[in-house]
């Protein structure tokens, strides 16, 4: 079965420091990868998807099929980036999203 692993439950960084949230997946084919974010007292929402190849709120993520990874990066963390981040995978078509257990990012002023 497909699996998404986010090895860090909590990641604390200082404001202005680079951020990298790790995501590894297990699937031998070509998956679709997503990052979802949940800010305090807000709904879970899509941050970015790998097929879009875009930067959202300064965040980027590159799919590395060799390492089966989809790490989320931002060069300079902001306090408003503090949130819960979930990596998710789907194997195509109308298959369900498989989520990792999430990483809580805390940006310290």
Partner 1 sequence: KAGVTQTPRYLIKTRGQQVTLSCSPISGHRSVSWYQQTPGQGLQFLFEYFSETQRNKGNFPGRFSGRQFSNSRSEMNVSTLELGDSALYLCASSPQGTYNEQFFGPGTRLTVL
Q: Rounded distance, CA 67 to CA 25, Å?
A: 9
Residue among 43, 66, 67, 109 that touches partner 1 (CB under 8 A): 43
Residue 27 binds partner 1, judged by CB under 8 A: no
Stretch that binds partner 1, among 53-61, 62-70, 73-81, 100-108 (CB under 8 A): 100-108
Classify strands 83-90 and 60-61 as parallel, antiparallel or unpaired. Answer: unpaired
The residue assigned the tokens 């970015």 is 48
Residue 46 binds partner 1, judged by CB under 8 A: yes
Residue 101 binds partner 1, judged by CB under 8 A: yes
Q: How many CB atoms lie within 10 A of CB 30?
A: 9
Interacting residues toward partner 1 by CB under 8 A = 32, 43-46, 49, 86, 88, 90, 92-102
């Amino acid at each position: 079965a497909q699996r998404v692993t986010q090895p860090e439950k909590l990641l604390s960084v200082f404001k202005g420091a680079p951020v990298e949230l790790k995501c590894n997946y297990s699937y031998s084919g070509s998956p679709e990868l997503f990052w979802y974010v949940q800010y305090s007292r807000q709904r879970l929402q899509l941050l970015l998807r790998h097929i879009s190849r875009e930067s959202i709120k300064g965040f980027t993520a590159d799919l590395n099929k060799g390492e089966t990874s989809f790490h989320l990066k931002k060069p300079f963390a902001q306090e408003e980036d503090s949130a819960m981040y979930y990596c998710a995978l789907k194997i195509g078509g109308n298959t369900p999203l498989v989520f990792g257990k999430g990483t809580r990012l805390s940006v310290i002023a």
